[in-house]
């Protein structure tokens, strides 16, 4: 009899431990960001929502999208037919994010989105945006195609966790200007992207991005948030 009671108690204990471990794993679910190369990203929220930012390059488009963010209409940023989509997928483009000169905010697919300035001689200020995206308590800045903007000084107060800045020096700012922007924005981590036109990633140029917050991601790299 005692042996049976001990076995029952052991079974209850193991079940409880298993439930606790499962609950702990559920409580610590992380958001993930995949850098697909060039200026393309796939963000998966802690609740499993899938968001593509500027789809164009690399791999990883097989997960159906809940949301697609587009910073502007150049073809290397707006291939909205590339990802698979859920039936209720929202496509949020620069024309939705910037209306009559006003930068919009939105809450879609479990993330908070704020449009911000993006512009240079190749990218008109009224046709391009960057995005601040809040996910799982972390703030991400997807600059889109841009050079230094007048708004960047205000971003330092936002305590951005990850900033993704273009650095190609042909269509956008070059690496020295991107370093200057990184020092203005003061993000915890600054990732050089859109490094070399025609390439998903350029390790040699990435190494030139020498600033204290530099965080290098090659195409295919993923971070937990």
| Structural domain for 150, as ranges | 28-216
Residue 22, domain member (yes or no): no
Residues (pLDDT < 70) of the chain are 1-27
pLDDT of residue 14: 52
Alpha-helical regions (H) of 28-163: 94-97, 152-155
CA-to-CA distance for 38 and 171, rounded, in angstroms?
Answer: 13
Dihedral sign, Cα of residue 12, residue 13, residue 18, residue 20 = positive
Task: Give the pLDDT score at 24.
Answer: 45
pLDDT at position 27, please?
A: 58
**CATH classification at residue 198:** 3.60.15.10
Sheet of strand 162-166: strand arrangement: 105-108, 111-117, 129-135, 138-142, 162-166, 189-193
Q: Could you tell me which of 20, 128, 13, 134 has the C-alpha nearest to residue 76?
A: 128
Residue 130 lies in a domain: yes
Counted domains in the chain: 1
Q: Report residue 124 as tokens.
A: 């008109």
Residue 83 belongs to a domain: yes
Alpha helix (H) residue ranges in the chain: 2-27, 94-97, 152-155, 175-185, 203-206
Give me the phi and psi of 142, to 5 degrees please: -100, 105
SS3 2: helix
Does some domain include residue 3? no
pLDDT the model gives residue 29: 85
Residue 72: CB atoms within 10 A of its CB come to 24
> What beta strand segments (E) does 28-109 contain?
32-37, 40-44, 50-53, 65-69, 85-92, 98-99, 102-103, 105-108
pLDDT of residue 17: 55
The sign one gets for the Cα dihedral 123, 168, 42, 213 is negative
CA 19/CA 30 separation, integer angstroms = 19
């Amino acid at each position: 009899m005692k042996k049976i009671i001990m076995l029952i108690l052991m079974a209850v204990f193991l079940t409880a431990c298993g439930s606790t471990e499962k609950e702990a794993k559920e409580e610590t679910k992380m958001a993930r960001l995949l850098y697909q190369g060039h200026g393309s990203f796939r963000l998966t929220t802690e609740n499993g929502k899938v968001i593509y930012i500027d789809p164009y390059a690399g791999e990883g488009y097989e997960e159906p999208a809940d949301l697609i963010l587009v910073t502007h209409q150049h073809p290397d940023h707006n291939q909205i037919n590339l990802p698979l989509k859920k039936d209720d997928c929202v496509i949020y483009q620069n024309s939705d994010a910037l209306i009559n000169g006003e930068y919009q905010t939105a809450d879609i697919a479990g993330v908070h989105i704020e449009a911000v300035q993006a512009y240079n001689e190749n990218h008109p200020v009224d046709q391009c945006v960057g995005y601040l995206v809040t996910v799982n308590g972390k703030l991400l800045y997807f600059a889109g195609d841009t050079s230094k903007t007048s708004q960047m000084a205000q971003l330092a107060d936002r305590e951005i966790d990850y900033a993704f800045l273009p650095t190609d020096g042909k269509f956008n700012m070059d690496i020295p200007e991107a370093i200057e922007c990184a020092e203005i924005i003061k993000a915890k981590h600054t990732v050089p992207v859109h490094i070399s036109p025609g390439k998903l990633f350029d390790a040699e140029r990435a190494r030139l991005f020498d600033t204290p917050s530099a965080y290098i991601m090659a195409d295919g790299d993923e971070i937990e948030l």
